[in-house]
Structure 1
Amino acid sequence: MNKPVWFCQEFGEAGFVLVAADLQLSDGTLIGLRQALHPFDADEDPQLVPRTVSKMNEIMGRMSAQTVPASRACAFGAVQGGQDEAIRA
């Protein structure tokens, strides 16, 4: 699996900054996230940009995580805890 490609770009007259990440999965699917930030918000909260990047990184990780197939027995409730617990394992 590839690593995300990150980029920032200023746009608009108000000086908004676009923080973006793209990730191509092994099956060719392209996942993209975009977040617009206003410089005034970043001035008031110095942790805004790192927090935004961290949040986007977490989302990209969850979206690109490979699912764990559940067994048929688990899917039909034969395993204690049900399918949801087996998938999280």
Structure 2
Amino acid sequence: MQRYQHQITEKSVSERYRKGAIMQNSSEETKKKLLQAKHRMEAVQARDRKKERSARTRRLILEGAELEKIVPEVKGMTTDELRQFLLLHLQKHF
């Protein structure tokens, strides 16, 4: 009878070890999945930022093209000259 109890004890220790290994493996898998989810989220955010930048760039180009159509003189102006030109002419209307 004593031998039988000893086998149960060994089995229990073995089972506990396996359960611990499974839990550790599960913990590592969970950490890996969390890291993957974080990287997917960062990739989605990066794509969103790129889309926003592209949309802004397109809008600025289209608005600049419209300005050049209406006031062709702005093509030869520097950025500072354009700013002064717009401030001067827009202050009259506001």
**Higher normalized strand content (fraction of residues):** 1
TM-score tier by shorter-chain length is under 0.3
Q: TM-score, normalised by structure 2?
A: 0.26
- Choose 1 or 2 for highest CA Rg: 2
Instruction: Give the TM-score of the pair, scaled to structure 1.
Output: 0.27
Higher share in helix: 2
Structure with higher RCO (Cα < 8 A, 6+ apart): 1
